[in-house]
Amino acid sequence: MSPEVLDASSTEERAMAPQTTEASAVVAHRLLNSSAVVWMGITTLQAHWDGMPSLQRAHLLERMLAHASVIDDRLKDLTWGRASPDVPF
């Protein structure tokens, strides 16, 4: 069995892997937070629509829309390779 030959690019990739993993974890965590707001908002409205005052329903819908927009924007960034954990939500 011969020893593995490492070129400069594979060494660079290995060095960046922990940063990429950490960045991905931060981005995923933020997406999950926004996803949870949308999910909980929907389930709350399903269960309590008739008993909620219209102002509360409107507020909840606005929050869900804001978080859905964040999810959409961040997924677009990921698709284009522009996602960064430093970009605030």
**Phi then psi for 73, rounded to 5 degrees?**
-60, -45
Provide the 8-state DSSP code for 87. S
pLDDT in tens, 1-31: 555 555 555 555 555 445 567 777 888 888 9
- pTM to 2 decimal places: 0.66
Question: Minimum mean pLDDT among 23-27, 34-38, 47-51: which range?
Answer: 23-27
Q: Give CA–CA dist 48/31, Å, rounded.
A: 26
Q: Does 79 have pLDDT greater than 90? A: no
Q: Does 40 have pLDDT greater than 70? A: yes
R_g over Cα of the chain: 20
Q: Which residue has the higher pLDDT, 60 or 86?
A: 60
- State how far the alpha carbon of 82 is from the alpha carbons of 23, 33, 60, 78, 86, in Å: 12, 20, 30, 6, 11
CB 83 within 8 A of CB 29: no
